[in-house]
Structure 1
């Protein structure tokens, strides 16, 4: 799993260990089934971009063979 720079910054700024745990749990669920979440790429775009949600967080990611690249993390908690 690869985190882009912005995602790393968001992880560092999350308000608690519980928040980080929730984000990482979502990342693990996505990693186990990366194409189970909706593809949200713009029409005509070639790069696959998907979004996954949990109770208080979401991630935007790109699946790669056997891995995911986390592009963005959101926290609403």
Structure 2
């Protein structure tokens, strides 16, 4: 997050992460075949967040930014 440009970009990433946390199964499952870890990927206008859903949280695995 610290490497992102200023406020609008950070707000987009934060909003996408919150949307994924609120409804983690709404985003596509992108795990490799045979993997036991559930990996999903939330896609925004200029960012993507691969994550693992947990009880009331998500574990962000990476953060991709196009911009």
> TM-score, with normalisation over the residues of structure 2?
0.95
> TM-score, with normalisation over the residues of structure 1?
0.84
State the alpha-carbon separation in 1 of the partners of residues 55 and 38 from structure 2: 12
Structure 1 gap segments, 5+ residues each? 1-10
Q: 4+ runs of 1 displaced by more than 3 Å?
A: none
Q: Which structure is higher in RCO with an 8 Å CA cutoff and minimum separation 6?
A: 1
What per-residue deviation string (whole Å, max 9, x for no partner) do you get for residues 12-71 of structure 1? 100111111100000011111000000010000000000011111110000011110011
| Pairs aligned (count) | 67
Secondary structure of the corresponding residue to residue 66 of structure 1:
coil
- RMSD (Å), alpha carbons: 0.7
